[in-house]
Amino acid sequence: MKYVFYTSLLFCSAIYANESYKIDPEHSFANWKIRHVVAMTSGTVPDINGIIDINRQNISQSQIEVRINLLGINSNHKKRDEHIKEKKFLDVENFSTVIFVSTKIESSDNQSGIITGELTLHGISKIISMPFKVLGFGDDPWGGYRVGIEVNTSILSTDFGYTWAENNSALGNEVILEFLIEGIKQ
């Protein structure tokens, strides 16, 4: 009888354990959009890495850590990309990596909710909260198993020490962010 009890306990623990997924940089993107004069300019940062530890039965027990390399920023305009990387804007020579580490996840339906964590950008760390959606889980064509997650938010550049939006600049202060993430089960 003890054997059945402990086997059942072990089985239940395995069911509710977190699954670890490595962010696939080839299928994950950090997209951005910002006002430029009277229109919007957008781009992507394709160099995104990290780990997602997800508990499928209780998503609030999950954790995520993401690192984004700003050296690869792409606005589909090479000269503008070089300009964006300069000290006057992103200053990638001194601050090339954006880091987000979750501290709390809230969800009422286990598929969407609010993720809160510490965002470090331009050498400044702030606690932010962002809505997220788990898009699904499934097998990939290469024999792996994946999770898809979408996160959307906006930040104010001035909150992270950027000054480009001061004095009615041609650039807006609000930066709209969209993270499209695929993780491969480890």
Identify the CATH homologous superfamily for domain 18-185. Lipid/polyisoprenoid-binding, YceI-like (2.40.128.110)
pLDDT at residue number 165: 85
**How does strand 63-69 pair with strand 145-156?**
unpaired
pLDDT at residue number 166: 83
Domain coordinates of the chain in residue numbers?
18-185
pLDDT at residue number 138: 98
pLDDT at residue number 104: 98
Residue 179 CB partners (closer than 8 Å, separation 6+): 28, 29, 30, 31, 48, 66, 149, 150, 151, 152
pLDDT at residue number 13: 46
pLDDT averages per 10-residue partition of the chain, 186 residues: 52 70 98 96 96 97 98 96 94 98 96 98 98 98 98 97 86 96 98
First to last CA, the chain: 34
